[in-house]
Copies of this chain bind each other. A is one copy, B any other.
């Protein structure tokens, strides 16, 4: 028995997606056979429009429909607090916490084993952006020197940590000192609801290092 070509082609396409193996791809394809024609058409169009309808924000490199994304365009956002993330989904996750700063999307993480070096990411753009931001005169406080905070919000994996280290080193090398660019890293510790008993050694020692004073 040979699967009809239209079916095996779609199975192939599904199989190229992450986390979808041959069995899931088959199941999804045969499920779609019972889908209404117009739904299939909508799905197909969404795929075509995905890249055609989107571009990268010229400031933060996040995915957007316009020249400048809704976050960078929002006057209520604090433009001097920039969270550096590796992907749009990370920015999206941070945003749901109510974070009111802006983002810079690297579109990847430094990972030499997978041939991803700093030049593959939007790091050069970040350095330029810091320069622009510092020279942007704020009319609110003309006398005070401008200062920005960079929150390194890459994953806490080995690659995420080394990307964060690389970035902080690079920014200092470029001559921006603490009085101009404050560099912070998201806290590593126990997830809320976590068990000390089951936490791994590194997480626990990071949780101890990052302890904060109880004030009330």
Contacts and interface: CB of A to CB of B under 8 A. Distances in A.
Interface of A: 1-7, 9-10, 12-13, 16-19, 24, 26-33, 35, 37, 39-54, 63-65, 70-71, 87-89, 91-92, 95
Q: Is the interface of A mostly helix, strand, loop or mixed?
A: helix
Contacts of A24: 19
B89 A30 contact: yes
A12 B42 CA distance: 10
Copies of this chain per assembly? 2
A6 B88 contact: no
15 contacts: A9-B49, A10-B47, A10-B49, A13-B46, A16-B39, A17-B31, A17-B32, A19-B27, A26-B92, A30-B87, A33-B54, A33-B88, A44-B44, A44-B48, A47-B47
A54 B1 contact: no
A46 B10 contact: yes
B54 A7 contact: yes
B89 A54 contact: no
Contacts of A46: 6, 9-10, 12-13
